[in-house]
Amino acid sequence: MVVLLIVPMLQNIYYSFFDWNGLSKPVFIGVHNFVALFGDSVLAGSMLNTAIWVAFTLVFPVMGGLLVAVFVTGLRGENFFKSIFFIPLTISFVATGTIWTYMFSRELGVFNGIFRLLGLPIKLSWLTSVPLNTFSMLISWTWQQLGTNMVMFLMGLATIPSDPVEACLIDGANGWQTFIHVKFPMLAPITTVVITMAMVNGFKVFDIIYVMTRGGPYQSSETLAVSMFRETFTLFHMGYGAAIAVLLSVIVIAISSAYIRRMTRRDLLYY
Amino acid sequence: MTSARTLRKIPIYAVLIVLCILWLLPVLSTLVVALKSPQDFVSQKFYQLPVHISLTQNLNKVLTEYRLNAHFVNSLLYAVAGGAVTIITASMAGYSIVRLRPKFNFLLFLIIYSGTLFPFQMYLVPVYRLYNVLGLYDTRTGMILIYSAICIPFSLFVYRGFYTTIPREIEEAARLDGCGPVRSFVSVFLPQSLPPTAVVALFQMTWIWNDLLFGMVLSRTQHVRPIMVALATMTGYGGGNIPWIMTGVIFTSIPTVVLFILLRRFFIQGMTLSIAA
| Model confidence pLDDT, tens digit, residues A160-203 | 877 877 787 777 777 777 777 778 888 877 888 888 888 888 88
| B238, pLDDT greater than 60 | no
Q: Compute the nearest-CA separation of A270 from chain B (Å).
A: 16
Write down the mean pLDDT value for chain B.
79
DSSP B118: S
At A72-94, the pLDDT tens digits run 887 777 788 888 888 888 888 88
* Residues 200 through 239 of chain B touching chain A, CB cutoff 8 Å: 209-210, 212-213, 216-217, 228, 231-232, 234-236, 238-239
Residue A127 has pLDDT above 50, yes or no: yes
User: What is the predicted pLDDT for the residue at A270?
Assistant: 40
Please state, as a whole number, how many other Cβ atoms lie within 10 Å of the Cβ of residue A232.
23
* Cα–Cα separations (whole angstroms), residue B32 to A91, A92, A233, B37: 17, 20, 37, 10
Mean pLDDT, rounded, for B223-239: 76
**Identity of the highest mean pLDDT range in A10-24, A228-242, B207-221:** B207-221
The CA-based angle B136-B141-B145, given to 5 degrees, is 90
pLDDT at residue B28 is higher than 80 = yes
Query: What is the pLDDT averaged over residues B112-134?
Result: 77
Residue A60: pLDDT over 50: yes
A198, exposed or middle or buried, with CB in 10 Å at 0-12, 13-18, 19+? buried
What is the predicted pLDDT for the residue at A14?
A: 67
A103 interaction partners in chain B (CB closer than 8 Å): 25-26, 29
Q: What is the mean pLDDT of residues A19-23?
A: 60
Per-residue confidence band for A9, with pLDDT thresholds at 50, 70 and 90:
low
Note whether B221 and B138 are within 8 A (CB).
yes
pLDDT value, residue A267:
46
- Under an 8 A CB cutoff, do A225 and B121 touch? yes
Mean pLDDT of all residues in B177-183: 78
Say if the Cβ atoms of A107 and B238 lie within 8 Å: yes
Which pLDDT band, with edges at 50, 70 and 90, does A16 fall under?
Answer: low
Q: Is the predicted pLDDT of residue A30 greater than 80, yes or no?
A: no
pLDDT at B56: 78
- For residue A256, pLDDT over 70 is answered with yes
Average pLDDT for residues A149-167, to the nearest whole number? 82
Cβ-Cβ contacts under 8 Å, B239 against chain A: 107-108
Identify which has the larger pLDDT, A13 or B276: A13
Does the CB of B34 have a partner CB in chain A at under 8 Å? no
Q: Average pLDDT in the B54-61 region?
A: 77
User: A255 to chain B: which residues are within 8 Å by CB?
Assistant: none
In chain A, what residues touch B6 (CB-CB under 8 Å)?
Answer: none
Mean pLDDT of A229-245: 79
Is B26 in contact with A99 (Cβ distance < 8 A)?
A: yes
Which among A212, A196, A177 is positioned nearest to A253, based on CA atoms?
A196
Please list every residue in chain B whose beta carbon sits closer than 8 Å to the beta carbon of residue A192. none
For chain A, say whether B102 makes contact (Cβ under 8 Å). no
pLDDT band at A268 (very low <50, low <70, confident <90, very high): very low
Contact B42 A248 (CB under 8 A): no
Could you tell me the pLDDT band of residue B1, with boundaries at 50, 70 and 90?
very low
